[in-house]
Homo-oligomer: A and B are copies of this chain.
């Protein structure tokens, strides 16, 4: 119950078309909330009907025209009231944890490759986050250094630091998993 809100945040950061939003949901905001273009177009249409966002036709040369959406007053209000709600206890879905527990009833060693593959994905993501941090927040430290604070920037940065901490934790844990799995020889 919050794709709408993720879209509002993304459009406040920068107005854009459904297509552009779909691309953002493949990177940036998409690391914290996934959505496909089909979903986005559907929700965007409803949000327009409800007056949360306003569309502006932007003619383009050499490309199809696009509808650039931006947040309307009603959308801003909807976001604000969502931010003030105390809800959501985070529902989790860790396929890999289920697989690891399931491996006890199959062949634990057969999971090694799969876990290694996941480890690689997390290593790549970490590298990607760190590169983004160097690019967008160079020379900044968590505690700031007397510079006047820019909420949008700093909050984006703290979320990014969360992503970095998550990837580091995952890599360390997956190493633990690999050590554990390797204690069980193949073909058991």
Which of A's residues lie within 8 Å of B, judged by CB?
Answer: 2, 5-6, 8-9, 12-13, 29, 31-34, 76, 79-80, 82-84, 86-108, 110-111, 113-114, 117, 121, 142-144, 149, 151-152, 154-159, 161-162, 165-166, 168-169, 172-173, 176-177, 179-180, 183-184, 188
Contact = CB atoms under 8 A, between A and B. Distances in A.
A105 B173 contact: no
B97 A149 contact: no
A5 B106 CA distance: 13
A110 B84 contact: yes
A98 B158 contact: no
B103 A184 contact: no
A interface, by DSSP: helix, strand, loop or mixed? helix
Contacts of A179: 142-143
Contacts of A102: 5, 8-9, 12, 79, 82-83
Contacts of A176: 142, 158, 161-162
